Chain A
């Protein structure tokens, strides 16, 4: 697929001339984009840019992956004993005799 040509002038080569400013503007909207909150025309425009700009396309994919990982990150659970102990502590603190 369209790999950027990295070989020459490695630093600060704008891979796509129309770009940097455009890409930055896009970056600001990516959460709204992946959350499906952009109005239709904007969304369309953004999609078009992504299709033409591998960097932004990769970036949005990586942001999506990041969010998906957060959504699925497992969390530890309390043991039954811990749950009961904490309940007693709370009630004791709430109702000092």
Chain B
């Protein structure tokens, strides 16, 4: 983040700047947690996520005049973050950006129809108290090709409508839904392939805990 802008003496512009700074603080206060959550879900690693958040708010600061009240602030920020994310091009492990076809998700054997993870009879909150499950889920999402992950995160994790997701990523609703469906099928398959045992509360050393990231 460097910007060698020409240093200036105080002018009317600086009053303008003070206004910008005040609204920036509000913007930051109200949305930094949301953007960090979003960034973490996109990037996985906390340090990369922090970079992305800073980049996002820096761009928001600079582009504040271009923000028009017709969009929701958060949608506007999501879009800035999404663009910054694709620019950052930090190489992530896994996740080559390939197309997902529906055909690859058609189960071919009996075991593939249900999730091999301990969720039956549990609410999602209860199931997610299992740390191993949280990790497997994170990993499944991280494995998604980027453009699919973007849509799944926005829709199913950030809770945007398909239409809002479309305006963030620049797709029509139909395309959003198509990507979303493939992304969900991908994550579903990952979960069903993982075979986590029901959590044994006290006991550690799961095979999943070593390895990656």
Q: Name which residue of chain B comes closest to A70, CB basis.
A: B156
Bound state CA distance, A30 and B189, in angstroms?
14
Q: Name which residue of chain B comes closest to A77, CB basis.
A: B33
Q: Is A71 an interface residue (CB 8 A)?
A: yes
Q: Using a Cβ–Cβ cut-off of 8 Å, how many residues does chain B contribute to the interface with A? A: 57
Given contacts A62-B188, A77-B36, contact A70 B152 (CB under 8 A): yes
Q: How many pairs, one residue from A and one from B, have CB atoms within 8 Å of each other in the complex?
A: 127
Q: Report A75 CB to chain B, min CB distance, Å.
A: 4
Which size bracket describes the interface of A in this complex? 35 or more
The interface bits of chain A over 71-97 (1 if a CB of B lies within 8 angstroms of the residue's CB, else 0) are 111111110001100110111011111
Contact B57 A71 (CB under 8 A): no
Given contacts A68-B124, A69-B124, A76-B40, contact A94 B157 (CB under 8 A): no
Cβ–Cβ < 8 Å partners of A68 in chain B:
124
Contact B157 A70 (CB under 8 A): yes
Contact B127 A63 (CB under 8 A): no
Contact A82 B124 (CB under 8 A): no
Cβ–Cβ < 8 Å partners of A95 in chain B:
17
Q: Is B147 an interface residue (CB 8 A)?
A: no
Contact B156 A71 (CB under 8 A): yes
The interface bits of chain B over 99-141 (1 if a CB of A lies within 8 angstroms of the residue's CB, else 0) are 0001001110110011100010000110110000110011001
Selected contact of B102 from candidates A27, A67, A77, A90, CB within 8 Å: A27
Bound state CA distance, A72 and B188, in angstroms?
15
Cβ–Cβ < 8 Å partners of A55 in chain B:
107, 113
Bound state CA distance, A27 and B113, in angstroms?
11
Interface residues of A (CB under 8 A from B): 4, 6, 10-11, 23-24, 27-28, 30-32, 37, 55, 58-59, 61-63, 65-78, 82-83, 86-87, 89-91, 93-97
